[in-house]
């Protein structure tokens, strides 16, 4: 398959995890990829792509900082002549503190990266994509944004915002031929969840990872990357304003331990 031949693509959070897997998949299918990440992992991913014969340019940037987003979009235009696809994937977890133990500064930072970041991606990428006749924007939300039980208050609220942002943006881009959709990952083995997976492996408890979803396992980044690539491609030409759960079926029920104010129910 070569769904992205000569397409100009930006992937944020591409230094590891879902972003890295997506950047590599886009390049394998002919895309020219701007590999963006706040860490040096951006250069590692770009080297992996070019080493495999693909086209990639790395940039270290803060996805929640408007000047950096503008600079990243400008780089795609400069190097590849325009922009066709934006995958706004960068995000942070913000820990697992409850509402009463979460500092406002932490909530502010989580919202800045996880929600303002995708907003800035749409704001600056959409006009450039429209100039090329249309294309796609894909956002990374989470099952935590669908309903409670899969993340902290700060993280969950930020991802719920991303889901609504995809819907609002799809409407406000009416007539531009720019589609906006979101993926909602369940538990996936990335840098963010590495401690959980490492602990499970070391303790011989991998059978407990993802046990609440019907597939009874966690996901690998490549599984999420394939769905992001579908939404970015012409295969999804009539999919717009949607949030697609990729969670092994977790969000069909979201079974969780019940919590009560002041204590955890058993």
Which residues are tagged catalytic? 155
Rounded Cα gap, residues 100 and 104, in angstroms: 10
213: Cβ–Cβ under 8 A, 6 or more apart, which residues?
Answer: 186, 187, 247, 248, 249, 250
Coil, strand or helix: which one is 10?
A: strand
Give the gyration radius of the chain's Cα atoms: 18
What's the half-sphere exposure (Cβ side, CA atoms, 13 Å) at 242? 14
Task: Look at the chain and count its residues.
Answer: 266
Are the beta carbons of 143 and 187 closer than 8 angstroms? no
**Closest C-alpha to 126, from 163, 173, 72:** 173
């Amino acid at each position: 398959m070569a769904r992205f031949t000569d397409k100009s693509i930006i992937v944020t959070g591409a230094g590891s995890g879902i972003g890295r897997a997506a950047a590599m998949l886009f390049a394998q299918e002919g895309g020219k990829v701007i590999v963006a990440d706040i860490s040096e992992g951006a250069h590692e991913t770009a080297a992996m792509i070019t080493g495999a014969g693909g086209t990639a340019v790395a940039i270290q940037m803060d996805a929640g900082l408007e000047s950096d987003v503008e600079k990243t979009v400008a780089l795609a235009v400069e190097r590849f002549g325009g922009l066709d696809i934006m995958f706004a994937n960068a995000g942070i977890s913000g820990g697992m503190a409850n509402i009463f133990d979460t500092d406002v500064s932490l909530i502010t930072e989580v919202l800045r990266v996880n929600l303002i970041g995708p907003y800035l991606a749409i704001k600056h990428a959409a006009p450039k994509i429209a100039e090329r006749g249309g294309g796609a924007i894909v956002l990374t939300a989470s099952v935590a944004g669908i309903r409670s039980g899969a993340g902290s208050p700060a993280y969950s609220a930020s991802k719920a915002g991303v889901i609504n942002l995809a819907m609002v943006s799809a409407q406000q881009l009416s007539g531009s031929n720019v589609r906006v959709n979101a993926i909602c990952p369940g538990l996936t083995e990335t840098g963010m969840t590495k401690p959980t997976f490492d602990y499970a492996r070391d303790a011989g408890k991998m059978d407990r990872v993802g046990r609440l979803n019907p597939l009874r396992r966690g996901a690998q980044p490549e599984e999420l990357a394939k769905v992001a690539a579908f939404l970015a491609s012409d295969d999804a030409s009539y999919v717009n304003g949607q949030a697609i759960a990729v969670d092994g079926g977790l969000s069909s029920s979201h079974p969780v331990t019940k919590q009560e104010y002041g204590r955890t129910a058993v």
